[in-house]
Amino acid sequence: MPIHIRSRKISDNRLSLYADTGAKENRFRSLNIYLYPGKDKVTKQINKEALIIARQKVAKLERELSLPDIYTPQEINGLKQQEKGKVGVLSFILSNARNKEESNYYVWNSTAKQLQACWGGAEKKFSDLTLLDVDNFREYLLHRAISERTKKRISHNSAVCYFATFKSILTDAYRGGYLLSDMSVSAKSIPAKETIIEHFTAEEIKVLKHTDCKCRQTKIMSLFSTATGMRWSDVCKLKPEDIETRNGETFIRMFHKKTKSWQMLPVSESTLNLLPDTPPGEKIFTVDYDSMRKHLKKWLSDAGIKRHLTFHAFRHTNAMLLLENGVDILTISSMLGHANVKTTQVYAKPLESRRRAAANAISI
């Protein structure tokens, strides 16, 4: 009996895909694949890849359901392991990237592209993957990897990011039965160098505020992030009902995926005035990540800011401005939603160096 792909609407207007086997027992089986609303280029590509994977899963399920009539349970497990081992590493990465939030989607895809470049465009199967392949990728990132954007060697911390992502992918593959052992355990990590906190100065923020941006939403989102410290992933999904007033004070209610915790973030009236009027249930901002990056680059250039800064720099700016205005590190850590104050302490380092320089400038 053929298996059909069905769908049902879930949160955030997504469609959850599941298999209808037509059987009397255990008829409906989740495929753990989702289709996302939206007509932008990235969303269309994610949905296209999701449907391809869904069809592959259904075809595989049809084969598996016919196995008990032919093989023993032990033989079936062996066949499943062999089947998963035939899956291409790059295909696995790209198919799983669709479940990541937008910024992480780009990291996973960039990791896949670096891996493909390292392997000379070839696709390796999990069954053929060795620890030597993992070590070779590490060395490639450190010494030969080229940035797709700049056409120059990637930075050390970019290499750290890509290799850490690859190690987490290997762990996921092991847990999913694609690998016989977790290769990430034996793989030597790339130690990170001290992070330079890229942020805007107070003067640069003033200039940006008075510089026109072709995409007004990009400008408002950036200034809103500066005022609140919110990440791109939090700002872009903000809805009117996430803003609450309690006892005369206004808060933004949001969920941090990194720390898996809810936060009530205090927000000022002047900051709220930045937001456009939006009907309940709709997202306040609709610009996609690709468009934002393009408009942000042009906006910074028009403002005379030549450094390469990402949207996340506005969150860093919020922390730096709070520190410079005397707000204590524990309060800042709480406002940024950090699980550990050690994460926040990285912002204090550049401030301390400026204080030391100021102190040394005075000689009596």
Task: Please give the residue that has the higher pLDDT: either 262 or 98.
Answer: 262
Residue 121 banded pLDDT, cuts 50, 70, 90 = confident
60 and 88 together in one domain:
no
pLDDT score of 148: 84
Q: Considering its fold, how many domains does the chain have in total?
A: 3
210 and 349 together in one domain:
yes
Closest CA to 229 of 139, 335, 158, 351: 335
Complete DSSP assignment for 183-236 = HHHHSPPPPPPPPP-----HHHHHHHHTS--SSHHHHHHHHHHHHH---HHHHT
pLDDT score of 24: 77
213 and 329 together in one domain:
yes
Task: List b or e across 215-224, with b for residues whose CB sees 16 or more CB atoms inside 10 angstroms.
Answer: bebbbbbbbb
pLDDT score of 213: 96
Rounded-to-integer distance, Cα 312 and Cα 234, Å: 11
User: Is the per-residue pLDDT at 259 higher than 70?
Assistant: no
User: Is the per-residue pLDDT at 178 higher than 70?
Assistant: yes
Residue 83 banded pLDDT, cuts 50, 70, 90 = confident
Q: Report pLDDT digits (tens) over 30-75.
A: 898 999 998 888 888 889 998 999 999 888 888 777 655 555 566 5
- C-alpha dihedral (30, 34, 35, 37), degrees to nearest 10: 130
Helix (H, G, I), strand (E, B) or coil at 98: coil
21 and 141 together in one domain:
no
| Single residue among 18, 47, 70 that ends a domain in this structure | 70
Closest CA to 314 of 240, 252, 222, 251: 222
Residue 99 banded pLDDT, cuts 50, 70, 90 = confident
Domain assignment present for residue 79? The answer is no
Among 13-27, 104-118, 295-309, the range with the most confident prediction by mean pLDDT is 295-309
User: Is the per-residue pLDDT at 134 higher than 80?
Assistant: yes
Residue 244 DSSP symbol: E
268 and 342 together in one domain:
yes
Rounded-to-integer distance, Cα 12 and Cα 289, Å: 18
Helices (H), the chain: 41-66, 73-85, 89-97, 102-118, 131-143, 156-175, 183-186, 202-209, 216-228, 232-235, 269-272, 289-302, 312-324, 329-336, 341-344, 348-360
Distance of CA 347 to the CA centre of its chain: 22
Find the radius of gyration of the CA atoms of the chain: 24
Helix (H, G, I), strand (E, B) or coil at 14: coil
Q: Report pLDDT digits (tens) over 336-364.
A: 888 788 778 878 776 666 655 555 656 56
252 φ, ψ to 5°? -110, 120
Domain assignment present for residue 77? The answer is no
Domain assignment present for residue 76? The answer is no
pLDDT score of 201: 92
List C-alpha distances in Å: 91 to 105, 112, 162, 214, 318: 14, 9, 17, 37, 39
Q: Report pLDDT digits (tens) over 219-246.
A: 999 999 999 999 998 999 999 999 999 8
142 and 269 together in one domain:
no
157 and 234 together in one domain:
no
Q: Give the bridge partners for 264, in sequence order.
A: 253
| Domain CATH code at residue 279 | 1.10.443.10
Strands 28-35 vs 243-246: parallel, antiparallel or unpaired: unpaired
323 and 345 together in one domain:
yes
Domain assignment present for residue 329? The answer is yes
pLDDT score of 177: 86
Domain assignment present for residue 219? The answer is yes
Q: Taking residues 104-123, report their average pLDDT.
A: 89
User: Is the per-residue pLDDT at 320 higher than 80?
Assistant: yes
Arithmetic mean of pLDDT over the chain: 87
Rounded-to-integer distance, Cα 265 and Cα 348, Å: 22
CB 108 within 8 A of CB 100: yes
Q: Is 98 exposed, middle or buried (0-12, 13-18, 19+ CB in 10 A)?
A: buried
pLDDT score of 217: 96
Its domain, for residue 8, covers 1-70
